[in-house]
């Protein structure tokens, strides 16, 4: 237990530093992007698009860090789980089609969940992004909604590349990534948000078989 506590403390500390840095970086980053947009394209700056897309990537990473520290405007209320999911799925339609990925959703039971809508969107997005990224040659992502005791269970199953046992153990620790373009923050954010919702996260995965992520969210205030 001592080591566990220690790890949690480390994680919280790492999170605080990350958020602090992200705040400091965001403003100059916005300025640089703006300046580049203003003057770069007209002067046909070499590698304009590359610089722009790299800046955009930095912006995304900073954005992910900031989610961790976002305390303002959090609004817990009863929300329709399937509705939130559909809004997120909409964002993946084109990317999925381009990559020969089918995403299907089966609703056995749909309940209102007690949550902050934007945070849960972020959770679904991070999980779906991982699923899509695990399917470079196409495949299937299945989502099902079920009732599990006092929870609404949202299960994401992909038949992608899966994880090694080592990775499965470490997934959710900051900066643990196997991707060239990854930052290893997605699942950490998922865990943090679900914890704040008094929910549960369970991840199972097998190399070359696929991955299953269960998110359990309370259907009422606890
Ligand atoms: P990132 O996606 O930036 O690497 P995440 O925290 O979202 O960071 O995921 C951490 C790691 O967990 C990934 O790099 C990958 O190795 C593994 N992972 C997460 N989800 C999946 C999945 N659906 N299929 C295979 N591996 C996954
Ligand atoms: Mg990810």
- Please provide the DSSP assignment of 131-173 as one string: HHHT-TT-EEEEEEEEEETTEEEEEEEE-S----HHHHHHBTB
Kindly identify the ligand whose nearest atom is closest to the C-alpha of 189: 1
Q: pLDDT category, 3, cuts 50, 70, 90?
A: low
Q: pLDDT, tens digit, for every residue of 8-33?
A: 666 667 677 777 888 889 889 989 98
Cα–Cα dist 187/174, whole Å: 8
Q: Residues within 5 Å of ion ligand 2 by Cβ?
A: 130, 186
Q: Helix or strand or coil: residue 105?
A: strand
Cα–Cα dist 61/168, whole Å: 22
CB 185 within 8 A of CB 64: yes
Complex ipTM: 0.99
Residue 76 φ then ψ, to 5°: -85, 125
Q: Tokens for 144, please give them.
A: 């099902």
Q: pLDDT, tens digit, for every residue of 52-85?
A: 888 888 888 788 777 766 655 678 999 999 999 9
Does ligand 1 lie within 6 Å of residue 204's CB atom?
Answer: no
Cα–Cα dist 209/203, whole Å: 14
> Global pTM?
0.77
Of the candidates 160, 182, 158, the residue with the CA atom closest to the CA atom of residue 170: 182
In eight-state DSSP terms, residue 125 is H
Whole-number pLDDT of residue 132: 96
Atom of ligand 1 nearest to the CA of 187: 6
CA of 184 to the centre of ligand 2 (A): 6
Does ligand 1 lie within 6 Å of residue 135's CB atom?
Answer: no
* Substitution site in 128, 172, 187 for ligand 1 pocket (most atoms within 8 Å of beta carbon): 187
In eight-state DSSP terms, residue 46 is T
**Among positive and negative, which fits the CA dihedral 127, 97, 140, 82?**
positive
Beta bridge pairs of residue 148? 151
Whole-number pLDDT of residue 44: 75
Cα–Cα dist 100/97, whole Å: 5
């Amino acid at each position: 237990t001592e080591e566990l506590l220690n790890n949690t403390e480390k994680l919280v500390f790492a999170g605080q530093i990350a958020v602090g840095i992200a705040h400091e970086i965001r403003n100059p980053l916005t300025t640089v992007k703006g300046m580049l947009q203003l003057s770069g394209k007209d002067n046909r700056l070499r590698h304009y698009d590359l610089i722009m897309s790299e800046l955009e990537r930095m912006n995304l990473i900073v954005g992910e860090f900031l989610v961790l520290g976002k305390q303002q405007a959090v609004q817990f209320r009863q929300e329709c789980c399937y509705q939130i999911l559909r809004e997120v799925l909409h964002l993946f339609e084109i990317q999925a089609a381009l990559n020969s990925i089918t995403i299907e959703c089966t609703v056995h039971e749909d309940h209102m969940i007690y949550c902050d809508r934007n945070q849960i969107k972020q959770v679904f997005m991070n999980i779906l992004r991982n699923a899509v990224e695990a399917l470079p040659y196409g495949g299937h992502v299945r989502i099902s909604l079920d009732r599990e005791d006092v929870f609404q269970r949202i299960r994401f199953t992909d038949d992608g590349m899966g994880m090694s046992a080592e990775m499965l153990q470490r997934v959710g620790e900051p900066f643990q990534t196997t991707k060239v373009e990854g930052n290893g923050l997605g699942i950490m954010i998922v865990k943090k948000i679900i914890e704040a919702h008094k929910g549960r996260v369970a991840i199972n995965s097998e190399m070359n078989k696929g991955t299953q992520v269960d998110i359990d969210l309370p259907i009422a205030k606890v």
